[in-house]
Amino acid sequence: MVWWRRRKDREWDDFFEEFFGREFEVFDEIFERMMRDIEEMFRMAEKGEIKPIVRGFSIRIGPDGKPEIKEFGTKQPIVEGVEERRPLIDVIETDDEVQVIAEMPGVKKEDIDLNATEKTLEIRAEGENRRYHEIVELPCEVIPESAKARYNNGVLEVVFKKKYPEKKGKKIKVE
């Protein structure tokens, strides 16, 4: 039975590679990283040093039609036992605005430092027990001076106006 399973897996792998190509090898790398993280979690649990771990990835199709994969979650512990994390981030683009939403529980509004350029948003926050840092690449150019930010219940929302908003065309009647 093991022989058949191996043969079946090889056939499936051959089909998958032939149909999709080698572009999906990145999933193997992500899976290996996740397995290393899980093994590390078990080692820490055995020592009694377990800490919360948040880790994952988001996938979206970029403007060029290729998948963009971004990782988020806990980074390695750093100075003074305070752990630096990458916040969970969602970027929403409309016709004339770009909205960035970041989940950052455990910090106060005064602890958040934002720095924006036309193409990126840098988010830093340092609370008593939590530290966050992330540089978000924006999907288009924005006007940094137009930024409006709100923080409520651990959720940061930053809204920018687009530098070149999409112009809506005029509907033409066909005769």
125 in any annotated domain: yes
Considering its fold, how many domains does the chain have in total? 1
Q: Is residue 111 part of a domain?
A: yes
Confidence of residue 26 (pLDDT cuts 50, 70, 90): low
Asked if residue 17 is part of any domain, the answer here is no
Average pLDDT on 56-80 reads: 70
Neighbours of 73 (CB within 10 A): 15
Cα–Cα distance for residue pair 53/48, rounded to 1 Å: 14
Lowest mean pLDDT among 3-17, 27-41, 103-117, 131-145: 3-17
CA distance 82 to 126: 9
The answer as to whether 142 is a domain residue is yes
Within a domain: 157: yes
* Mean pLDDT across 77-86: 63
For residues 128-133, give the mean pLDDT: 86
Q: Is residue 6 part of a domain?
A: no
Q: What is the pLDDT of residue 4?
A: 41
Domain that holds residue 146: 78-166
Would 90 be classed as within a structural domain? yes
What is the pLDDT averaged over residues 59-86? 70
Q: What percent of the chain is modeled with pLDDT above 90?
A: 33
Going by C-alpha positions, the residue among 124, 123, 155, 117 that lies closest to residue 138 is: 117
**115: which 2 tokens?**
């720095």
Which CATH number characterizes residue 108's domain? 2.60.40.790
Query: Which of 5-19, 113-127, 136-150 bottoms out in mean pLDDT, i.e. has the lowest?
Result: 5-19
For residues 47-68, give the mean pLDDT: 73
* Residue, of 115 and 45, whose pLDDT is higher: 115
Tokens encoding 109: 């509004």
Q: What is the reported pLDDT for 161?
A: 94
Examine residue 25 and state whether it is found in any structural domain, yes or no: no
Token pair, residue 124, equals 């830093």
77, pLDDT greater than 90: no
Question: Averaged over 4-26, what is the pLDDT?
Answer: 58
Mean pLDDT across 57-65: 78
Mean pLDDT score across all residues of the chain: 79
